[in-house]
Amino acid sequence: MINIPKGTKDVLPDESYKWQYIENTAREVARVFNLSEIRTPVFEYTELFRRGVGEGTDVVNKEMYTFEDKGGRSITLKPEGTAGVVRLFIENGLASSPMPVKTYYITPAFRYERPQAGRLREFHQFGIEVFGSASYQTDAEVIFAASTFLDMLGVKTQLQINSIGCKTCRAEYNRALKEYFKPRLVGMCETCRLRFDKNPLRMLDCKEEGCKKINAGAPNITDFLCEECAEHFNGVKSLLDGYGKKYTVNPRIVRGLDYYSKTVFEFVSDEIGSQGTVCGGGRYDGLVEELGGNPTPAIGFAAGIERLMLLMENSSAPFPEADKPAIYLAGMDEISRAAAFKIATDLRLKGVRAEIDHMGRSVKAQLKYADKIGAKFAAVIGEDELKSKVLNVKNMADGTACAVKVENLYAYLLQEKK
Ligand code: HAM
């Protein structure tokens, strides 16, 4: 017996409807926000993520599934969706289509992390990426797309926002951070000491208790924003306020990927343990240029589907009922089984979920099975029914029955569905 790889999960027949529900909700949100679906490959050249996500990040340094293919090229399974989408945007000349270009995706992603509740090595994201607009209104729209998605699913989260500024304000902030951290470095972890030289902003991300305490006193980026970045951030907040959207400004949100600038945000929950960030995103105005395109502002987010699933299960957010067969057609003998087969096929062609026997069961066992699989109605076909072409259609929930002509069966089921 070969087991499933560590950090991955199967989706079983009786839970796939939950996945479909979340994915359908994502597609509905994408529709109302006028976003078009795009799909990128599961693997890309490693260089894309090195340059796109950033050499200084845990994702690139420690977590990528990288291998050499038979042609000697370095390939990486996508650890996130954004870099591939930016490559798609540049490579397909989408920059010359009318702006903004508004896209969404549902994708698996792969990170070699220590698995725990809400943290997997293969996970799935619903993400959106909008290109071409530098306006704060687009930031607000993207944040509202995420919050609409979470609202539609009925989950409760807290929205936290921050601005990490542009290159100019960040240079000044980095200097201030270094000044603050330098005398405190002895008390900090090895990773933070390394980050001190390369990217002190990343130190704010550290989860070590000792570092967290020191981080609490560090200066806030929001005090270092240049005029343009501060104005942009105020614009975002004013649109959120104008709609009455609750949020907190959390100056410690720096995000784990290198491409962000200006607005960053997260939707977090305290109901699913330490991996409480269900959705994260922000603006990445420099990334298209970094990856070889013309300078193009952009913003997006990604929500983790497994974390949402956990949250929905933990917080008893309502999943709709799984779709069950509308009717089970039992056959008494060879000829009536053939009739059941034909009736079921006709119904299926009209879009009715119908089931028949595949196991050669007795009529009694067939009806027991129909009950087990949650069929709404069941009808037994025997010699009488073959002759009369009338079925005794039994409501499995209350045991009542109704005589229905075979030719009227579809209309009957349709009416009962209402
Ligand atoms: P991220 O914060 O790395 O951002 O991931 C987004 C979401 O994916 C997280 O909030 C979480 O729900 C889920 N996630 C991440 N890692 C795991 C894991 N190991 N197991 C389960 N779920 C996980 C990004 O990926 C950016 N590309 C988001 C973005 C799009 N920014 C702009 N556009």
Residue 134 Cα to ligand 1 middle (Å)? 23
Q: Whose CA is nearest to atom 12 of ligand 1?
A: 304
How crowded is residue 80: how many other Cβ atoms within 10 Å of its Cβ?
A: 21
Helical residues (DSSP H) of 46-112, grouped into ranges: 46-53, 58-62, 82-91
- If one counts every other C-beta atom within 10 angstroms of the C-beta of residue 252, the result is 14
74-77 β-sheet, strand order? 43-45, 74-77, 66-68
Q: Which atom of ligand 1 is nearest the CA belonging to 82?
A: 27
Nearest ligand 1 atom, CA 257:
3
Measured by CA distance, the residue closest to atom 22 of ligand 1 is 304
Q: What pLDDT was estimated at residue 318?
A: 80
129 Cα nearest atom in ligand 1: 33
Shortest CA distance to 143 belongs to which of 33, 34, 251? 33
Q: Cβ(336)–Cβ(385) under 8 Å?
A: yes
Q: Ligand 1 center to residue 305 CA distance, Å?
A: 10
Consecutive 10-residue runs of the chain (418 residues): their mean pLDDT? 98 95 98 98 98 90 96 98 98 97 98 96 98 98 98 96 94 93 92 88 88 93 96 98 97 90 97 92 97 98 97 85 96 97 98 98 98 98 97 97 98 92
Q: Ligand 1 centre and the CA of 118: distance in Å?
A: 11
125 alpha carbon – ligand 1 mean position (Å): 7
Residue 59 CB coordination number (10 Å): 19
Q: According to the model, what pLDDT value does residue 207 have?
A: 83
Distance 260 CA to ligand 1 centre (A): 13
Using the mean position of ligand 1's atoms as its centre, give its distance from the Cα of residue 361 in Å. 48
What per-residue confidence (pLDDT) applies to 399? Answer: 95
Residue nearest to atom 18 of ligand 1 (CA): 119
- List the residue whose alpha carbon is closest to atom 11 of ligand 1: 304
Exposure string for 226-238, b = 16+ CB within 10 A, e = fewer:
eeebbebbebbbe
Task: Quote the ligand 1 centre to 280 CA distance (angstroms).
Answer: 6
Ligand 1: lining residues by beta carbon, under 6 Å: 80-82, 111, 113, 118-120, 123, 125, 127, 129, 256-257, 277-282, 284, 300-304, 306-307
**Dihedral-angle region of residue 282 (phi above 0 means left; psi in -120 to 50 means alpha; beta otherwise):** left
Are the beta carbons of 297 and 134 closer than 8 angstroms?
Answer: yes
Q: What is the per-residue burial (b if ≥16 Cβ within 10 Å, else e) of 96-135?
A: eeeebbbbbbbbebbbbbeeeebbbbbbbbbbbbbbbbbe
- Residue-wise DSSP of 43-59: EEEHHHHHHHH-TTSHH
Pocket test for ligand 1, best of 125, 207, 269, 284 (most atoms within 8 A of CB): 125
Give the Cα separation of 333 and 215 in Å (integer): 76
Instruction: Tell which atom from ligand 1 comes closest to the C-alpha of 278.
Output: 12
Buried/exposed 322-336: b ≥16 CB within 10 Å, e otherwise = eeebbbbbbbbeeeb
Residue nearest to atom 8 of ligand 1 (CA): 304
Q: Could you tell me the distance, in angstroms and rounded to a whole number, from the CA of residue 112 to the centre of ligand 1? A: 13
Q: Which helix (H) or strand (E) holds 412?
A: helix 409-417
